[in-house]
Amino acid sequence: MTEHASIPTLSGFREIADSYDLILCDVWGVLHDGRRAHTGAGEALIRFRHLPGSERPRRVVLVSNAPRPGEGVGRILDGFGVPREAYDAIVTSGDLTRALIADRPGTRLYHLGPERDAGIFRGLDVDLVSAEAADLVLCTGLFDDRTETADDYRDTLAALRARDVPMICANPDLVVEADGRLIPCAGLLAAAYADLGGTVVYAGKPHRPVYEAALARAGELDGQEPPDPARVIAVGDAIRTDVAGARGFGIASLLVARGIHAEELGVTAEHHRLGEIADWLAAQTVRPDAVIERLVW
């Protein structure tokens, strides 16, 4: 373990594992890169779950800003090769979004996002309508996140704002990293809508409800109260969501460097060692409790 501005850089999660009963683990950027699993991450979570010596079972709850229910994320992880033994449960912003929509039965809903996310409201009592007729907009992302930007939605957002239509943002991420590229997410459109004065409800990290749901789920697994927050750590690759969310909720955080901040931290494919990060960390508004290049044991 080395020190950078008093924030430790870990060679493996084993260095701190004994201090925790629950890992709230991010998915994209930690467990996979959008195409394949990070094998070492899955192995580390399995080792943690089998670690003896705690008063309660060691648990891993995956916490994802994916705009789809947890069961759908599980199927995607199966396809990437993430072992089911690596985690106990999945809580997603999609799960929280479904609950928010269910609280408004019969609502006239405009889905702003790709068709692949339609499962997020499937089976719910909604009337799918155009943006012009909606009394609620559900944003799950850009229609084409490979070619479009938030600017392409300026007129649509302005028209929604003119009618004071509230928005549920089902994925608060601004971007995710995939194949060395940063792909825009629903959070960018939600931020643009908020800049116009629109009302946005966020389902997912860094907001408190998703952490409450994840800890409650961990308690349910063992028929106990949720674990002590002092024994919980969030693992993720994003300062804005994973680290800020953990800090706001009062739990520890571990930043995975080879994710969306890889270029800033000097850990691109051409650089195989974690570089000097003290200055970068010092410039952030929130800082993690520790840093690791990739999640490994």
Neighbours of 250 (CB within 10 A): 11
Whether 106 has a pLDDT exceeding 80, the answer reads yes
> Domain span at residue 177?
102-202
Q: How much is the average pLDDT of 199-224?
A: 95
The two three-digit tokens of residue 141, written as one number: 């992302």
Q: Are 175 and 158 in contact (CB under 8 A)?
A: no
Please give the pLDDT value at position 173: 86
Q: How far is CA 109 from CA 8, 136, 141, 169, 192, in A?
A: 46, 5, 15, 13, 20
- 142's CB contacts (< 8 A; 6+ apart) are 113, 114, 148, 149, 150, 152, 153, 184, 185, 186, 188, 189
The two three-digit tokens of residue 89, written as one number: 């449960």
Residue 271 binned pLDDT confidence (cut-offs 50, 70, 90): very low
Please give the pLDDT value at position 277: 72
Q: Are 173 and 238 in contact (CB under 8 A)?
A: yes
Q: What CATH number is given to the structural domain containing 160?
A: 3.40.50.1000
Whether 23 has a pLDDT exceeding 70, the answer reads yes
pLDDT tens sequence across 146-200: 888 889 999 999 999 999 999 999 999 888 766 667 788 999 999 999 999 999 9
Q: How much is the average pLDDT of 38-48?
A: 97
Whether 5 has a pLDDT exceeding 50, the answer reads no
Please give the pLDDT value at position 268: 52
Task: Answer whether residue 123 is part of any domain.
Answer: yes
% of the chain surpassing 90 pLDDT: 72
Task: Answer whether residue 125 is part of any domain.
Answer: yes
Residue 274 binned pLDDT confidence (cut-offs 50, 70, 90): low
pLDDT tens sequence across 56-98: 999 999 999 988 889 989 999 999 999 999 999 999 999 999 9
Q: Are 219 and 225 in contact (CB under 8 A)?
A: yes
pTM, entire model? 0.85
Task: Answer whether residue 32 is part of any domain.
Answer: no
Residue 283 binned pLDDT confidence (cut-offs 50, 70, 90): confident
Structural domains counted in the chain: 1
User: Helices 93-102 and 70-80 sit at what angle, rounded to 10 degrees?
Assistant: 160
Task: Answer whether residue 221 is part of any domain.
Answer: no
Q: Are 33 and 42 in contact (CB under 8 A)?
A: no
Task: Answer whether residue 182 is part of any domain.
Answer: yes
Q: Are 142 and 166 in contact (CB under 8 A)?
A: no
Task: Answer whether residue 47 is part of any domain.
Answer: no
Task: Answer whether residue 175 is part of any domain.
Answer: yes
Please give the pLDDT value at position 267: 57
CB crowding 117-129: b at 16 or more within 10 Å, else e: bebbbeeeebeee
Task: Answer whether residue 169 is part of any domain.
Answer: yes
Residue 3 binned pLDDT confidence (cut-offs 50, 70, 90): very low
